[in-house]
Structure 1
Amino acid sequence: MSDIVRAVRKNNLNQVKELISQGYDINLPDKNGDTALILAAYEGKTEILKLLLEAGADVTVLDPGMKATALHAAAYAGRTEAAKLLIEYKIDINKQGPYNGYTALHDAIWQNNIETAKVIIDAGADLNIKSNNGKTPLEMAKNLNRTEIVKLIEEKL
């Protein structure tokens, strides 16, 4: 396991700071392909996430499983503050995962993470992107009875 990923898993902010100060490659994945950025986003470790972003972590890196971004991970896990940070650092909010075609907004809808969905919508997510099953975020939200998210999307259309 990479030292930086191990430090994130342990939520060891000081060790992450130390590794960054020593010039450690913060984008180095562990043996499973996980990176510190995606792990911090998924687990909502916002202090560490902010450190990584400030140190230049690659926001285009994809997780090894779904080939999705850190924003997908934050959206799926309902980590609203992490999503806000990633958006602030110009992550592609409309990036689609290759397996299901979901954007981060689709992931937030799937998990009914209302606040995270709102952040992504307010950041200007493309509400017309269709997943691989042909569903826009609005269609997906309606199909899953995510009434609050339906309202949020309809307000923007």
Structure 2
Amino acid sequence: MTSLNQLMLDAAVKGDLKTVEQLVSQGADINFTDPWGNCAVFTAAWECNIELLNLCHRMGAELELEDNNPLCNAAYNGQYESVKWLVEHGANTAFSFRKTGENALHYTISKTSEISQRTGIVRLLIKSGTDVNKKTIKGESTLCFMRDAFLKGETPLHRAAAYGNEDIITLLLEAGANPAEKDANGDTPISWGSWHLRNSAVLRLLLYGDVPRIG
């Protein structure tokens, strides 16, 4: 028999706010998380369902979750309005995963789709105090990429060098991201940009110290 909690979560996934509210009033837990890490507030943030976010918030949903953090995952999915809502409602913008060290900036700068949304998210996170020099934990697996992907002690600027646009890189640099910061393998952001065959405009932004100039 399907539990009240699971019925509530199923309704949240379908965007059926009336049923979510009804089931919570009958005793369902708005913070219920299924074995795969799904919960109502995560679904709302991922899908950019602001009405559902508002409902979850009124019913006491937790915003700082470890394994399925809504801020990081909304950022990963390029959902600017979700990120904005979460920041405005007190989500911890200094959050990073204990296992991986990744923060919301790392999650934002892991895909090249929705690039204008991601640029806006980076701007918003920086303004909210998210650490632009936070390093990941070397050797840990990450959910930000596909399979068999392991972290290298990189900062958000390392990822931006590989996947971000010029605006994202500029925003990070202006906020104090260090272009000379080395990952666990001794590589800097311009190394990452070089591996990913970024154009000269991007690479020029990442120059530091005595790195040879780019014509």
Q: TM-score, normalised by structure 1?
A: 0.85
Match for residue 10 of structure 1 among 14, 17, 24: 14
2:192 aligned partner: none
SS where residue 90 of structure 2 aligns?
A: coil
User: Matched residues in 2 for 1:5 and 1:53: separation?
Assistant: 15
CA RMSD of superposed structures (Å): 2.0
| CA deviation profile, 1:20-72 (whole Å, cap 9, x unmatched) | 4444310012243311111111111111012101221011223xxxx241111
More RCO (CA 8 Å, sep 6+): 1
2:55 aligned partner: 51
Q: Which has the higher helix share?
A: 1
Q: How many residues align?
A: 153
Q: State which structure, 1 or 2, has the greater radius of gyration over its C-alpha atoms.
A: 2
Structure 2 residue runs of 5 or longer lacking an equivalent are: 113-117, 138-151, 177-215
2:158 aligned partner: 139
The structure-2 alpha-carbon separation of the partners of 1:85 and 1:145, relative to structure 1 and needing over 3 Å to count, comes to closer
Segments of 4+ in structure 1 off by > 3 A? 20-23
Is the 1:68–1:97 contact (alpha carbons within 8 Å) kept by the matching residues of 2? Answer: no
Question: Aligned runs of 1:2-151 on 2, under 5 Å?
Answer: 2-62=6-66, 67-112=67-112, 113-132=118-137, 133-151=152-170
User: Matched residues in 2 for 1:91 and 1:105: separation?
Assistant: 14
Q: TM-score, normalised by structure 2?
A: 0.64
Structure 1 residue runs of 5 or longer lacking an equivalent are: none
Question: Kindly, what percent of the aligned residue pairs are identical?
Answer: 32
**Higher alpha-carbon deviation: 147-156 or 75-84:** 147-156
User: Matched residues in 2 for 1:70 and 1:145: separation?
Assistant: 22
